Structure 1
Amino acid sequence: MGEVVNVLVAFAVIVFIFRWATSSNDTTEQRSAADTLGFRPKPVTQVMIDTISNMFPDIPVDNVRYDLLRTGSVELTSNKILERGFLDAPPPAYYTLFPRDTNATSTARPPAANATARAAANKHSESLISRYHLQDRVIKAESILEEQIGGKAVWEDTAEKREASLRERKAQMILAARQRLLAQQQKTTSASNKA
């Protein structure tokens, strides 16, 4: 029985020495950061900061990094922004560890975001007629009456029939809106020619 106790005490001493030896390597850096900030900072990657900054571009990057250092979680930080609408500004001690980058601007978008914005602008510049492939129906649409557009839809039996009915109503609304726009443009051009 005495040998088992000796083995357990020896094992506990070895574990204690191992933990002390491995934790002393990085504690000075962590201890200084913890002393400066007032809490033990969690590991934060640039991807985490970029994720929050892309979701909420109006929140300053320093506020995002400071909150991520506290929480260590993109989800918690984004929930805090959604609930409160803002993040607390970091204290002056934060800037001793993370000095501001004077070359980078917080309003600059990454190149991927610019490409996405250009693609969205191109998609919006495309007309509804070409987007919904209604070019062949534009000529036939001259005789569509305003009363035929909209109205009550009949509930179809199958999902496919309901989808086709919805597509047809959408096409009719687009064509009717085009007719109204053309009529309005004709009125303005005739009024400007008379003046």
Structure 2
Amino acid sequence: MGEVVNAIVAVAVIFFIFRWATSGSSSPNDERRSAAAALGFRPKPVTQEMVNHVHAVFPDIPPDNIRFDLLRTGSVELTSNKILERGFLEAPPAAYYTVYPPAEAPVPQPSSGSRPASASSTSSSTKQPSLIERYSLHDRLEGVVSASEIEVGGKAKWEDTAEKREASLQERKAQMILAARQRMLAQRQKESASE
């Protein structure tokens, strides 16, 4: 009988020593548990690069909204699709800010017209190609007179083969790009005329 009591006491002591020793090393797990308790779901790992990538594509969406949705989905693609479908991301709840402090607002970049010379020279090496350059529409710029002449939108006719469907899609993209360019030029003319 005495040996059984000694064995039970020894197991209890070992259990409490093990629990005490491992309680200090489980702080990342405790943070995850507290984040899951505060947010109501288990957050997925999110890097700042993921937030920056989505924010670069959708600059009008606040970074905190992006991070909150990425914590739910864990995927840049799913978050981007949600923005494309809805047009917005819901704001995080107040509990989010207890776990993740608010992100600093990004410094707005000056528009291309008001750039200093040094900034324009450094950014010219990393300048992204325009849509006109990307889709090789230079030859079609001379033929476009006004935005009303470009037929944009409407339903596309379903083509028989994948090649014809792809060509139709490319043509619709080209028409949309040219129409958007014409609207932008017309707007700039109105603005310059009103000044």
TM-score of the superposition, structure 1-length normalised?
Answer: 0.43
TM-score of the superposition, structure 2-length normalised?
Answer: 0.43
